[in-house]
Amino acid sequence: MFINNFDPVAFQIFSLEIRWYSLSYIIGILIGWILSKKIFISNNELRDRFDDYITYLIFGIIIGGRLGYVIFYNFDYYMSNLIDIFKVWQGGMSFHGGLLGIVFASILFAKKNDHDPFKYLDVVAIVAPIGIFFGRIANFINSELYGIETNLPWGVKFLKIDTLNRHPSQIYEAIFEGIILFFILLLFRNKGFMKSPGMISGLFLIFYSIFRFTIEFFRVPDEQLGHLFFNLTMGQMLSFLFLLIGAFLTVKKNET
């Protein structure tokens, strides 16, 4: 059994608190950026444009992630407290919202440069698991998105929550949605699946959705929502939808 009583603040500069969650975003983006340019982009023109694209990407992640959380997870509260929508530092980001933000930003940037947006999205799909890994580790440190009660020997006590032994669902997600997903996509890339733009993006949606849907069974649902249709969580419902989109995209791109 492991006892989690981590401080969500990594360090403090005067009165400015630097939190692990913020660092996870920064580290994930930086590593993904470097790997993309050094390894995963073979097109010189795409590589030259990638630095400018990152700015679009960051805005897409932040705006999409925040709006996704507002719309999917806490709509009633934010409609009554509109100013709180802008208080990003208080927490509340949605992965699926951030993903939609990335897609929208990529379409805008690609259209501006007369490129195929899937050429950008495929690169992002390969490195995204790195950011997901660091994000889930930050969730673990913050004692958020924690799991249901368990008697398994690797159960964790999140002292900021209660004294129950719980599934470390954040670690499950870090392993499957981060490490394992990264190597799966790397394997498909090495087998030439990036030759058809959009294939890697579709495969990312499929495998991420399967992992997320499954692990959510071990996670406590969002307090303000609980379980919804067919006793599924909002995360599972969104994952199922994105799984269908990924399957459609993969089939369609495989035909071209």
Report the number of distinct structural domains present in the chain: 1
DSSP per-residue letters across 19-52: EHHHHHHHHHHHHHHHHIIIII---HHHHHHHHH
Q: What would the mean pLDDT of 93-105 be, rounded to a whole number?
A: 95
Please give the residue range of the domain that contains residue 24: 2-255
Whether the pLDDT of residue 104 is over 90: the answer is yes
pLDDT value at position 201? 96
pTM of this prediction exceeds 0.75 = yes
pLDDT value at position 44? 86
Please state, for a pLDDT cut of 90, what percent of the chain lies above it. 77
Whether the pLDDT of residue 14 is over 90: the answer is no
Whether the pLDDT of residue 78 is over 70: the answer is yes
Contacts of 60 (CB under 8 A, 6+ apart): 98, 101, 102, 103, 104, 105, 106
Per-residue pLDDT reduced to its tens digit, 154-175? 999 999 999 999 999 999 999 9
Q: Is 149 helix (H, G, I), strand (E, B) or coil?
A: strand
Q: Per-residue confidence at 64, pLDDT binned at 50, 70, 90?
A: very high
pLDDT value at position 91? 77
Q: How many C-beta atoms lie closer than 10 Å to residue 130's C-beta?
A: 20
pLDDT value at position 219? 96
Per-residue pLDDT reduced to its tens digit, 111-137? 999 999 999 999 999 999 999 999 999
pLDDT value at position 256? 64
pLDDT value at position 89? 74
**Between β-strands 2-4 and 156-158, what pairing exists: parallel, antiparallel or unpaired?**
parallel
Which of 139, 127, 167 is closest to 6 using CA atoms? 139
What residue ranges in the chain does DSSP mark as E strands? Answer: 2-4, 9-13, 16-19, 156-158, 165-166
- What span, in angstroms and rounded, lies between the C-alpha atoms of 178 and 180? 6
Q: Is 147 helix (H, G, I), strand (E, B) or coil?
A: strand
Whether the pLDDT of residue 32 is over 70: the answer is yes
Backbone angles phi, psi at 3, to 5 degrees: -105, 120
Q: Which residue matches tokens 């791109």?
A: 253
Q: Per-residue confidence at 148, pLDDT binned at 50, 70, 90?
A: very high
Cα atoms in the 13 Å half-sphere on the side-chain side of 76: 2
**Burial letters for 164-178: b for 16+ Cβ neighbours within 10 Å, e otherwise?**
ebbbbbbbbbbbbbb
Element (H, E) at 246: helix 234-255
pLDDT value at position 92? 86
Whether the pLDDT of residue 193 is over 80: the answer is no
Name the token pair of 39. 């390894």
Contacts of 134 (CB under 8 A, 6+ apart): 23, 24, 25, 27, 28, 178
- What span, in angstroms and rounded, lies between the C-alpha atoms of 233 and 224? 11
